Amino acid sequence: MLDLNQLRIFMAVWQQKGFSKASKAIHLTQPTISGHIKSLEEALGTKLFDRLGKEVTPTKAGEILYPYARKMLYMALEAEEAIKAFLGGTKGHLRIGGSNIPGQYLLPSLIGRFKGSGKGIDVILSISDTAGIVDMVASGEIELGMVGAAIDRPNLVFEPCLDDQMVLIFPKGHRLDGLREVDFKDILSWSFVVREHGSGSRLFAEKALMAAGWPGFGKLNVTAEMGSTEAIRQAVKAGLGLAIISKRAVEDDIKNGSLAAAAIKGVELKRNFYLVWRRNKTLSPVALDFKKFLQKAGKDKPVIKMKKIS
């Protein structure tokens, strides 16, 4: 019989890619974690991780175990939440996720306000790109997600929640500095830094440019693709190129003068963030409560009919 606590520790080592980081993530000592992994390996009769100095990589057996461990742990959480729902409680675990902008700049403060209203809950917030968060919702790893683009997934519901304004950014003192609006044709040949494929920001920006008659990023002089909003900010500050990014992420930079921003003439860069959940999944009382809280924060925008993003 597999031990759920050992599987939880196995998942932590897998996700953190090391025993030391896993120790900090789940608040156990490193020897305790090592002991549990050793016991699990002995129970299964095989090694689950290769240890090469500080680097820890899963073995083939570890790769086989991972999806089963994930399903077992989430089923255990769902069982707890189902019992709480039966008993009418609104306490427990809230498993949510956010793509880069809402995950870093919106959800932490919203979670704080939600918990501050007297909710006795433990919040587990995962941050990834839009594609990653959508996959986590679809697999049941998290109950709710907030992402920057609606994707054509028939088994999921996407609901507009909060507004976001994207802008063109460049370093302070740049030739564009001082302009409130630029014509895209004047910067087509300039270097650009963009988010990676799967990012909601990238999906939306490309769609907005093409709707205005301009080419997508594939036709631009892209000097780098970055995996996070923070990396984009630092790359633009370093002079690697221009970028189209959420204004929420650079408000402090604009105020302190390290970056400047402008609108793009004729390109509508105002977008929605979307709540996403599984269509046929009954949300736990805690998730349902938080969903209602977010809907109120977003002034209860209606559910829209899905359109595929090309």
CATH of the domain at 138: 3.40.190.10
37 & 105 share domain: no
Contacts of 86 (CB under 8 A, 6+ apart): none
In a domain, 31, yes or no: yes
Is there a domain that residue 188 lies in?
A: yes
Q: Is 112 helix (H, G, I), strand (E, B) or coil?
A: helix
pLDDT exceeds cutoff 60 at 309:
no
Report pLDDT digits (tens) over 109-122. 899 888 876 656 78
Radius of gyration of the CA atoms of the chain, in A: 22
Model confidence band, residue 246 (pLDDT cutoffs 50, 70, 90): very high
Mean pLDDT (the chain, rounded): 85
Total structural domains within the chain: 3
Could you tell me if 39 and 13 lie in one domain?
A: yes
- Both 148 and 247 in a single domain? no
Asked whether 256 and 164 are in contact (CB, 8 A), the reply is: no
Identify which of 153, 96, 100, 61 has the alpha carbon closest to the alpha carbon of residue 275: 96
Measured between alpha carbons, how far is residue 217 from residues 154, 183, 212, 243, 245 in Å?
Answer: 27, 16, 13, 11, 14
Q: pLDDT value at position 85?
A: 60
Q: What is the pTM assigned to this prediction?
A: 0.64
Lowest mean pLDDT among 31-35, 54-58, 102-106: 54-58
216 and 285: one domain? no
Among the residue ranges 69-78, 267-276, 292-301, the one predicted with the least confidence is 292-301
Q: Which CATH number belongs to the domain containing residue 70 in this structure?
A: 1.10.10.10
pLDDT of residue 304 exceeding 60: no
Q: Is the dihedral of CA 14, 15, 18, 24 positive or negative?
A: negative
**pLDDT (tens digit per residue) in 277-288:** 999 888 888 888
User: Could you tell me if 289 and 143 lie in one domain?
Assistant: yes
- Are 184 and 267 in contact by the 8 Å Cβ rule? The answer is yes
Helices (H), 238-275: 247-256
Report pLDDT for 282.
80
Q: Is the pLDDT of residue 131 over 60?
A: yes
**Tens of pLDDT, residues 83-99:** 766 565 556 678 899 99
Q: Domain range holding 179?
A: 164-271
For 121, the 3-state DSSP assignment is: strand
Q: How many secondary structure helices (H) and strands (E) does the chain include?
A: 11, 12
Give the C-alpha separation, 92 to 90, whole Å.
7
pLDDT of residue 88: 59
On the question of pLDDT at 169 being above 90, the answer is yes
pLDDT of residue 245: 93
User: Could you tell me if 74 and 131 lie in one domain?
Assistant: no
Residue 141 pLDDT greater than 90, yes or no? no
The per-residue pLDDT for range 214-224, each reduced to its tens digit, is 877 878 889 99
